[in-house]
Amino acid sequence: MSRLRSLAVRILPPGIRRRLRSWRRRGSAPPVGRVRLGDLARTRPISSDWGFERGTPIDRYLIEKFLEQHANDIHGRVLEVAGDAYTRRFGHDVTEVEILAVSERERAATIVADLADAPQIPDGRFDCVIVTQTLQYIWDVREAVATLRRILAPGGVALVSLPSVIRYDDGSWPDLWRFTPASARRLFEDAFGTEHIEVEAPGNVLAAAAFLYGLAAEELDGSVLQADDPAVPVSILIRARKAE
């Protein structure tokens, strides 16, 4: 092999030799000083609104894929946080929809309550609860998850998304928590039991970086969004079922 390399150095033009070296390095890290950041060489996101104006935010793509996979759970009496868009999009045989908000300022709300303390919601009230990107705003997340279990009917399912990689929001409802797959599993196991929860953590380093920059899912190759690296989850997705 070393003789072949020596022969190649003598007879191949410099341009071909460089191309062969780049093919050999493909998939490995580029040399120090040779990384090309291009449009990402900036200190501010490309989109300050998570890419909504460019298409589908990457976390929303992952959440919607998760809800589509579990569409059979979205039926009967459904509670959704902040709106009913996902119930309308993915639900079937839905007999009743309630919209939960923490403030009466949310005009679409049919129930105003804090999930951490919601005695006004009866026990066993819903067959499905959809809680997307919400628990990071609640201080007492253990009580919130306990409420989810309490208000589900036996056999009912909570479909929950949590942020793993996300920019900090210090708005009127500031972010309080960041989660890992392990902390999410522990949190829901304590309330629902180990055998009644499923935890997914999709994402990879390119999807995470693109999300932080505010790129949309449509701007990434489909294979990127399908590739999962357990070390770099973008979202944490939980299906929790209340025991019969």
In this prediction, residue 79 has a pLDDT band, given cuts at 50, 70 and 90, of very high
In this prediction, residue 78 has a pLDDT band, given cuts at 50, 70 and 90, of very high
Whole-model pTM? 0.87
Q: What mean pLDDT comes out for the span 71-79?
A: 98
Is 167 among the domain residues? yes
Is 118 among the domain residues? yes
How many folded domains does the chain comprise?
A: 1
Q: Is residue 220 a contact partner of residue 130, using CB atoms and an 8 Å limit?
A: no
Give the count of beta carbons closer than 10 Å to the beta carbon of residue 117. Answer: 11
Largest CA distance in the chain: 82
In this prediction, residue 35 has a pLDDT band, given cuts at 50, 70 and 90, of confident
Percentage, residues of the chain above pLDDT 70: 89
Rounded CA-CA distance 157/237 in Å is: 13
Q: pLDDT higher for 14 or 165?
A: 165
Residue 166 in this model has a pLDDT that exceeds 60: yes
Residue 155 in this model has a pLDDT that exceeds 70: yes
CATH for 55: 3.40.50.150
pLDDT at 184: 98
Is 52 among the domain residues? yes
Reported in sequence order, the residue ranges of 116-204 that DSSP labels E, i.e. its strands, are 126-132, 152-163, 197-200
Q: Which residue segment(s) compose the domain that 155 sits in? A: 45-241
pLDDT at 24: 53
Is 216 among the domain residues? yes
Is 13 among the domain residues? no
pLDDT at 103: 86
Rounded CA-CA distance 140/142 in Å is: 5
Is 17 among the domain residues? no
pLDDT at 22: 57
Is 193 among the domain residues? yes
Q: Is residue 156 a contact partner of residue 127, using CB atoms and an 8 Å limit?
A: yes
Is 138 among the domain residues? yes
Q: Is residue 84 a contact partner of residue 60, using CB atoms and an 8 Å limit?
A: no
